[in-house]
Structure 1
């Protein structure tokens, strides 16, 4: 038998799933009411829905998905003409003097776009301490933080979680590899946080110099893929690396445990997986886009589309944590393709499928050579009425303004990879 799993971060991680669901949806109406009162972007819910009525997943799924493009557009509109009265586009409930928000923003960050994100005054505002604990960090550890402290929030996210855990932080940031190696040799940190690729660079350079990273035995990595081969390579050099999934908008979404079986969802978010191009939840196990609602009163993003693909894993984590697990990052949900000079979007494929109740799933395959494109919509149907393919072809032309062929497929025959548009053209 292997060693027992470490104790959880807190009692929330081992709640009965039904208890967790009740707690999340008991908190959501108050969050929505707070957002409506203090964030103009939430001034009115669609179809007259009141905040107090959003008490289960069905009611939540009736709300629209907010895309990063919408967030950026609202912020850009607020900035037009020079001084912006609300740099967060109406999504934040906090700000500073001169903003149309109450004070309370401790920091503000700029991500590519640019999109601005606020950080409030809460302890561990991005909820990262839970992921650090799962990766083996404990109070009293010295953490070498190699995430960026410049413009974007990654460095601050990790630092906030480490401080909340009782750790000491060295703010290494990015670059300056030789100086960071010197700090590691002299300060002897217990662990590393940053991208996995930079950790490998540090280990390689230390080995080239005839040494190692010393007492660094654990790492929490994020920001890029962490393949098993690299995980095993780090283990061979005495470092146990774990990954977490977080974004600049939402903070922590999910994290890896000692069980190494998927990523466990954070306790402060409600996660849905929807069919790309829609806001419609898919059955557990089907690949789709991660849509996240964060219970953060300072920056209450509701049904925020991450643009990332994943799927729910069945069962519970062997570590004893009872929250839902996901497979981790499985690609991007934005599958827009340009066909014969016109853009075709996943939402258009979804609209065609929505017109025919007998269609269970649909996948648009774009094939041929550039300038000689051919579109084929493959649809899963259990029983096809006469003329169904022709009627679907008419709908394709109506929605996309392009001609397309239709292929009727048996249920379950399309790949479960989250692809709604497959670009199979030859680009040679």
Structure 2
């Protein structure tokens, strides 16, 4: 039994009756003052819960000379130390868990492609909360009870597929659990089953669009009206590309496995003005990634999260490495919004003294009519000088000459608006690898020695 020295102020809401599944949760309409009062009570419990049930947190807090009793107001959260992926990896597999016994109901993990896998876990209450928040995201994005929803997120240890699946079911939708890959079959099922909504990464949805065209079908004639897209940063130019290609509304959903999975924040179909963070369950901060200073609302920096209700794996001041800013709420005024992710602090390319992100290249590339959204960046060091090559596909309708002219203009735009010189290599359509999960944009070919 999970215990703490103070009572847990949170109990997951029961599954709503079918007639009520399209209605907002009471917390969605709370004022800012009500949200912050709720955050204080839930944060106080979370800090005690982590300290008393997770030795890794107890050691971490003790090493920084802080105790949960030091938390007496929301601003005191800044007294507590940050955590990150390395904190979780050092505790592999279950050292950061508060629940490892009969309360533990599910385990997910990252792929571990860049190191030790990050393992996350859920109790029954955690799973109920997760489904509720994903359903909240889908409702905000325009999915309704009774809709058919095509789920092209990957199932398995990745949190995207199952997280989206249970959220869609909780809202009362019928889920088509396709998972990722098999693009031709994706097209067939969308054509045959006529789903109203699709769940996918943005770049994989464009791959599905290519699959439609390859089969002689027009994506704009499909049944799809709503796309809820996440798991990778994407730009407004990418949104326009997707919406024009499919004739649908494309909305952003944000999450990461360590904090919960998909459903931490999402956009409203009414405004498309940034993702509202569900602050009844997560306390966000923006910090300067170099100085660790907490920044005011509106300042751009690194996103940090503290969970307020998680039982199996409490998260305290977790550094996401995602770069964004916090903004006042609009459609949900009590919950602040996050601006678009402009990049990741660990994905930043430093090229001859200039800092740049793949999203900046994407923004410029999508303005070139002859160039496709499919590209990669290769960083090499010939003659002891760093050099970046943009490998980009031409569009099907564009001639090689038109694509090369677009590449020349893109090269000039990158030099003028970002700073560094680069090489643009145009390749044939479908030459680059496709991914149904998180897309890898950067290939560092420099000799580490």
- Which residue is 1:30 aligned to? 45
- Which residue is 1:275 aligned to? 288
Question: Is residue 184–residue 214 contact of structure 1 (8 Å, CA) maintained in 2?
Answer: yes
- Which residue is 2:106 aligned to? 106
Does 1:186 pair with 2:192? yes
Separation (CA, whole Å) in 1 of partners of 2:137 and 2:193: 23
- The 1:247/1:259 distance shift into structure 2, 3 A limit, reads same
Question: Is residue 30–residue 52 contact of structure 1 (8 Å, CA) maintained in 2?
Answer: no
- The 1:180/1:71 distance shift into structure 2, 3 A limit, reads same
- Which residue is 2:325 aligned to? 311
Question: Is residue 66–residue 79 contact of structure 2 (8 Å, CA) maintained in 1?
Answer: no
1:60 shift after superposition:
0.6
Does 1:246 pair with 2:263? no
Does 1:93 pair with 2:98? yes
- The 1:186/1:118 distance shift into structure 2, 3 A limit, reads same
1:34 shift after superposition:
1.9
Question: Is residue 94–residue 105 contact of structure 1 (8 Å, CA) maintained in 2?
Answer: no
1:106 shift after superposition:
2.3
1:12 shift after superposition:
1.4
Does 1:204 pair with 2:207? no
**Structure 1 residue ranges without an equivalent (≥5):** 1-6, 76-86, 96-100, 340-368, 374-422
Question: Is residue 64–residue 279 contact of structure 1 (8 Å, CA) maintained in 2?
Answer: no
Question: Is residue 129–residue 162 contact of structure 1 (8 Å, CA) maintained in 2?
Answer: yes
Separation (CA, whole Å) in 2 of partners of 1:331 and 1:310: 8
- Which residue is 1:15 aligned to? 30
1:50 shift after superposition:
3.1
Aligned-residue Cα RMSD (Å) equals: 3.0
- Which residue is 1:67 aligned to? 84
Question: Is residue 35–residue 93 contact of structure 1 (8 Å, CA) maintained in 2?
Answer: yes
Question: Is residue 288–residue 333 contact of structure 1 (8 Å, CA) maintained in 2?
Answer: no
1:278 shift after superposition:
4.1
1:103 shift after superposition:
3.8
- The 1:63/1:204 distance shift into structure 2, 3 A limit, reads same
1:9 shift after superposition:
2.6
Separation (CA, whole Å) in 2 of partners of 1:253 and 1:266: 6
SS at match of 1:118: strand
1:124 shift after superposition:
4.5
- Which residue is 1:261 aligned to? 273
- Which residue is 1:137 aligned to? 143
- Which residue is 1:361 aligned to? none
Q: How many residues align?
A: 326
Question: Is residue 233–residue 342 contact of structure 2 (8 Å, CA) maintained in 1?
Answer: no
Separation (CA, whole Å) in 2 of partners of 1:241 and 1:135: 9
1:151 shift after superposition:
2.8
Does 1:284 pair with 2:297? yes
Which stretch has the larger CA shift, 268-277 or 244-253?
244-253
Larger Rg: 1
- Which residue is 1:235 aligned to? 243
Question: Is residue 254–residue 263 contact of structure 1 (8 Å, CA) maintained in 2?
Answer: yes
1:21 shift after superposition:
0.6
Does 1:117 pair with 2:125? no
Does 1:327 pair with 2:339? yes
Question: Is residue 61–residue 279 contact of structure 1 (8 Å, CA) maintained in 2?
Answer: no
Separation (CA, whole Å) in 2 of partners of 1:228 and 1:179: 28
- The 1:254/1:18 distance shift into structure 2, 3 A limit, reads same
- The 1:321/1:274 distance shift into structure 2, 3 A limit, reads same
- Which residue is 2:316 aligned to? 302
Question: Is residue 219–residue 242 contact of structure 1 (8 Å, CA) maintained in 2?
Answer: yes
SS at match of 1:128: helix
SS at match of 1:19: helix
Does 1:217 pair with 2:231? no
1:61 shift after superposition:
0.7
| TM-score normalised over the length of structure 1 | 0.69
1:58 shift after superposition:
2.3
Deviation per residue, 1:15-39 (Å, 9 max, x gap): 1101101101111111222222322
Question: Is residue 191–residue 222 contact of structure 2 (8 Å, CA) maintained in 1?
Answer: yes
Separation (CA, whole Å) in 1 of partners of 2:256 and 2:247: 28
Question: Is residue 119–residue 125 contact of structure 1 (8 Å, CA) maintained in 2?
Answer: no
Separation (CA, whole Å) in 2 of partners of 1:52 and 1:8: 38
SS at match of 2:276: strand
- The 1:60/1:173 distance shift into structure 2, 3 A limit, reads same
**Structure 2 residue ranges without an equivalent (≥5):** 1-21, 352-381, 387-417, 424-449
Separation (CA, whole Å) in 2 of partners of 1:338 and 1:189: 43
Deviation per residue, 1:127-160 (Å, 9 max, x gap): 3222111111122222111111133111111112
